[in-house]
Each structure stands twice: as structure tokens, then as C-alpha cells.
A and B are shown apart, each in its own frame.
Chain A
Amino acid sequence: MSDNEKKKKVIVPIGPYHPLLEEPEFFALYCDGEKVVDVDWQPGYNHRGIEKLSEGKHWDQVTFLVERICGICSTSHPFAYCNAVEDLVGVTVPERAKYIRCIIGELERIHSHLLWVGLAGHFLGYNTVFMWAWKYREPVLDMFEIITGNRNHYAMFKIGGVRRNIEEEDMPALRKVLKEFKAQLEMLTHAVLDDPVLGARLKGVGVLTKENIKDFGAVGPVARASGVAIDVRKDEPYAAYPMLDFNLVTTDNGDVFDKAVVRLLELFESIKIIEQSLNAIEGTGGDICAEVREIPSGEGIGRHEAPRGECFHFVRSDGTNRPVRHKIRAPSYTNIPTFKASCIGQMIPDVAIILAGVDPCYCCTERIAVYDACSRKKQMYDFAQLVEMSRKKTEKLKKEI
């Protein structure tokens, strides 16, 4: 789009602050009336220089640093980082540690997807969904606190294994939480998927085709909702995943409804994985960490299927006690730019839910303001207004159906 053309369009920035768009982020939407014709992504408000900080910490300290890339997928980065260093060193993690890693990883997927369901509900005007989803999240966070000591930022990962064991006495409580959660999840899934208004609101909205997925390198539920069956747990099984039985969830339409379906159905698979893992380690013992004394020079790549998709870490060592280079690619880095494909041609009231559909974990990635290009007047919608427009559209549909 040429500069002159851009100036004629109305620009609708979104961001940088709104309580429910948790992190500051800039999206500039170029609009022709009510329709979006282009999107510009201007991040940087969360960039904290983590790759550089990593070069100044020793290998074990880096796990604590990368945990704090993102609060929601807090364990995904240490998981991928440990996989990368273990790839470099060539060490095998003990079996008990593999199962514990999977348990923590899948519990995180549960809390992350529930968080998303709550936010999506809020954007659409279903505040009860928000309250329910976040209420069901609490027992999961309680379990994290019992097993790891913290509700978030669990510090469970260590190069060669895990830092803490899951004690026998905590397993019944974890099983109980899972059992109760399964019933709640069934109810929530039916409530969301059988609702005709949600169907009308979300089907056909924000569609991404297989070509879009390839062009941007999108991953995770975003890709699986468009029929691209990629999942690191199946493609390159790591930790205990080769020993576990679970399904890959894919759908074909690529719209926001499908993204919700994939996320909710994935949670049933996560419950299966955790139950199988508990069965494997209950009543048994074993080491939880292989000893790794030195990191030799070389390079390693590790990845993990985070709730948002493939989390990728590349490390290079020169044999000293800290990484020479640590490249981190969070899944949202390639997922967020898909807005260029999914928002264009859509109407402004749908933008909030399309943006949310990608489950952008902005802080992972890097790490909407309005200014009318022609008149320079503040003729814009801030994110609160966009959410309001989204809710009004839902109300309107409710009356029609």
C-alpha cells in the first residue's frame, strides 16, 4: 500500500494499555469505513533484552531468567532451553524426570488455555465464562503451589532433569483436582461449543488458510485449527511423550471458533497425559536429575510444544560457564503477524476477538492508538471501545437468534 493510500485510510491503533489486553502492544489498523484493510505491528514495549542477559548468566541461572520471559507459559521456556542444552551435551534425562516434566508442562497448558477461554469470553461479553474459567484455574494453580512452591514461575527445570520431586503424598490431591476439573471442562466445553450465538459470532471470523500458516510459520493451536497437523510432542517426541498415548486435535476451518475448539479439546488430552504420567511414577522411585558437570563447546537446539505452539531455543557454547549465544523464539513471534492475513477484510467489531484468537502472549514475543492519518484528529477507538463494540455485536446476534 503506498504512502498516499495509507494516509487516506483511517488508522485505528489498538493499545498500548487496557486491563484485559494485559501487556502493552501496538497494532495500527488501517480502516476503510468499518473494514480493516491493513495492520501494522509495532512491538517493543515488553522487550527486556533477555537474550543479552542470558550471555551474562551461567547455564543454571539462565533457567530462572527464561522462566520470566512470560508468566503464562512460564515453564515452556525452561523446558525448551533445557532440551537445547541437553541436545548440546548429549545427556539423557532420567525417566522419572521425564514424566515430571510432562506433568508440569501439561498442567501449564491447562491453566493457560483456561486463561484464554476466560479472556475470550470477556471480549465477547460473556463475563460468566470469564469468571468460571478463572475460578476453575485456581485449583490448578493450587496444585502448582503444592508441587513446586509457587503458583507461577515454578523453577522446576534444571539441565539434566528437574529440581524437585513430586511427592507420593501429593499425588492423591492432584488426581482429585484432575477428576473435578474434567467434569468442569466438559460443562465448559458444551457451554461454549453448543451456544448458537457464539457459533454465529465466531464461525467464519478471522480465517487463516494453510497458505497463511506456511507464509508466517505459525504454530500451535493456530496452525492446528487450520488443518496443519504440527505438534512438537508428536513430530519430535521428547521427555516422556514417546511413552504416552494421546491424540492430536485438528480442525479444518481456521476461524476463531475452530481455535477455541482445538484449545478446549486439547485439554482433555492433557488430562490423559497427566493421569498416565502419574500412573507411571506413583509408587516408584528414581533419580530426578542426571549430573551435568560441564557444558562442552558446541551448539544445541531444543523445543517444546508450549500452550501457544512451538517454543524454540538455540544455544551456542564455547566451553565456558555461560552461553555465548542464546536465541529464543517464542511461538507468538510467528503467530502474531498472522493478523495481517486474518484481520484484513474483517469488520472492526470483530478485531478484538480475532486478536485474542491467536492467544498472543506478547511478553513471550518480545518481547491499538489511534490517529487519523489525514486530519491528525484523535478519531479512534481504544481497546476498551473495541471490546465494547465486540460485545454489542454479540448482543445483537443474541436478539436475532
Chain B
Amino acid sequence: MNLKIKALKKSLWVYHLSGGSCNNCDIEILDCLTPRFDIERFGMTLIGSPRHADVLLCTGIVNKKCVERVKEVYEQAAKPCVVVAIGACACSGGIFRDGYQMGGPLNKIIPVDAYIPGCPPKPEAMIAGIVKLLEKLK
């Protein structure tokens, strides 16, 4: 069952993965669950295991200690799986790009389908980005 059909049939299961971030993007992702933004009305839920994930939301630079784990999580995720890089760090490394711990950016480690830049991107920007991605997949 490819992602297009899945998206039409059931709610999307989203798994959040941080590869060494300042946590701001992660908090804004969690903010999407709260009453003001409530991503559940778009049919999205955050899940606790990558195995059933349809969407991987990744934040952080992917520091050298995290590289294998990010790959592992990607392997574990059921395919097809969409990877979204959230925040300036995941998109390009952001302000940490020249550091000695830089192992990414994300698209050097796993294939990325969508980029949502920002530091951090507002919840509205994240929702808009994901909805845009889903429209494109349909």
C-alpha cells in the first residue's frame, strides 16, 4: 500500500526524531498537539515507535554520535515513509554547520522529502509544510 492510498484511508502516524538539536523545534512540534493547533484534526498522531511511522519529523544537526541511530530509525520505519527535515539545523546545519560535531545535515544521512526551515519554524509553518507535502503526494 503506497503512501498516497494510506493517507486517504487512515490518520498519519508521525514519529519525531531529534539528532542533536537545541530542542526548540521539538517543543514546537509538541505544541502542534496542543489545543490551539491540534494537528489531530488533520488526522495526524504522534507515535512512540518508528516501526509504524508514516512520517519521520527530524530535527537537529545529526551530530556525530547520532548518525548511526538516525540511520537505524530510518531502517526501522515501515516503508513507504516520508522524511521531513524541520528547522534550520536539519535543513543545512544552521549555525552549527562548522562545528566539529557536525555529522549531517540530514539529507547526507537519509533521503529527505520535505524541508521546513525556520529557527524554529512556527507550528503554523510546520502544519502548512506537511499539508503541502501530503497534497503533493496525493
The minimal Cβ–Cβ distance linking B131 to chain A, given in whole angstroms, is 20
The 0/1 profile, CB within 8 Å of A marked 1, for residues 6-40 of chain B is: 00000000011111111111111011001110000
The minimal Cβ–Cβ distance linking B96 to chain A, given in whole angstroms, is 5
Assess whether B98 is interfacial by the CB under 8 Å rule. Answer: yes
- A68-B119 in contact (CB<8A): yes
Q: In the complex, what residues of A have CB within 8 A of residue B16's CB?
A: 19
Docked complex Cα distance between A363 and B61 (Å): 12
- A153-B120 in contact (CB<8A): yes
Q: In the complex, what residues of B have CB within 8 A of residue A22's CB?
A: 18, 23, 26-27, 30
Contacting B34 at CB < 8 Å: which of A24, A50, A134, A362?
A134
Known: A48-B99, A71-B24. 19 other contacts (CB 8 A): A17-B73, A19-B30, A22-B23, A22-B30, A44-B63, A44-B65, A47-B20, A48-B102, A50-B96, A53-B95, A53-B96, A68-B95, A72-B27, A131-B34, A152-B24, A362-B23, A363-B21, A363-B22, A384-B48
Docked complex Cα distance between A134 and B27 (Å): 10
The 0/1 profile, CB within 8 Å of B marked 1, for residues 109-137 of chain A is: 00000010000000000000001001100
Assess whether A69 is interfacial by the CB under 8 Å rule. Answer: yes
- With A153-B24, A363-B23 known as contacts, the answer to whether A45 contacts B34 (CB < 8 A) is no
Docked complex Cα distance between A327 and B63 (Å): 20
- B27-A115 in contact (CB<8A): yes
Interface of A is mostly: loop
- B61-A48 in contact (CB<8A): yes
- Closest B residue by C-beta to A68: B22
- A69-B96 in contact (CB<8A): no
Q: Which B positions have Cβ atoms within 8 angstroms of A?
A: 15-28, 30-31, 34-36, 46-49, 60-61, 63, 65-66, 69, 73, 94-96, 98-102, 119-120, 122
Q: In the complex, what residues of A have CB within 8 A of residue B94's CB?
A: 68
The minimal Cβ–Cβ distance linking B61 to chain A, given in whole angstroms, is 6
- A45-B20 in contact (CB<8A): yes
How many A-B contacts if CB must be within 8 Å? Answer: 116
Q: In the complex, what residues of A have CB within 8 A of residue B66's CB?
A: 24, 45
- B120-A152 in contact (CB<8A): yes
- With A68-B95, A71-B23, A72-B27 known as contacts, the answer to whether A138 contacts B73 (CB < 8 A) is no
Contacting B27 at CB < 8 Å: which of A45, A50, A64, A71?
A71
The minimal Cβ–Cβ distance linking A336 to chain B, given in whole angstroms, is 15
- A49-B24 in contact (CB<8A): no
Docked complex Cα distance between A319 and B12 (Å): 56
Q: What are the 6 tightest A-B residue pairs by CB atom distance, in nearest-first order?
A: A71-B24, A49-B99, A384-B48, A134-B34, A71-B23, A22-B26
- A24-B18 in contact (CB<8A): yes
- B122-A23 in contact (CB<8A): no
Assess whether A251 is interfacial by the CB under 8 Å rule. Answer: no
The 0/1 profile, CB within 8 Å of B marked 1, for residues 59-75 of chain A is: 00000110011111010
Docked complex Cα distance between A71 and B23 (Å): 5
Q: In the complex, what residues of B have CB within 8 A of residue A69's CB?
A: 22
Assess whether A276 is interfacial by the CB under 8 Å rule. Answer: no
- B21-A23 in contact (CB<8A): yes
Interface CB pairs A-B, < 8 A, 25: A17-B17, A19-B15, A20-B30, A44-B63, A45-B63, A46-B20, A47-B20, A47-B65, A49-B96, A50-B96, A52-B99, A53-B95, A65-B95, A68-B96, A72-B23, A74-B22, A134-B31, A138-B34, A138-B36, A152-B24, A152-B120, A362-B23, A363-B22, A363-B23, A384-B49
Interface centre among B23, B24, B34 (most CB of A within 10 A): B23
Docked complex Cα distance between A68 and B23 (Å): 9
- Closest B residue by C-beta to A46: B20
Docked complex Cα distance between A17 and B61 (Å): 15
Interface centre among A18, A152, A362 (most CB of B within 10 A): A152
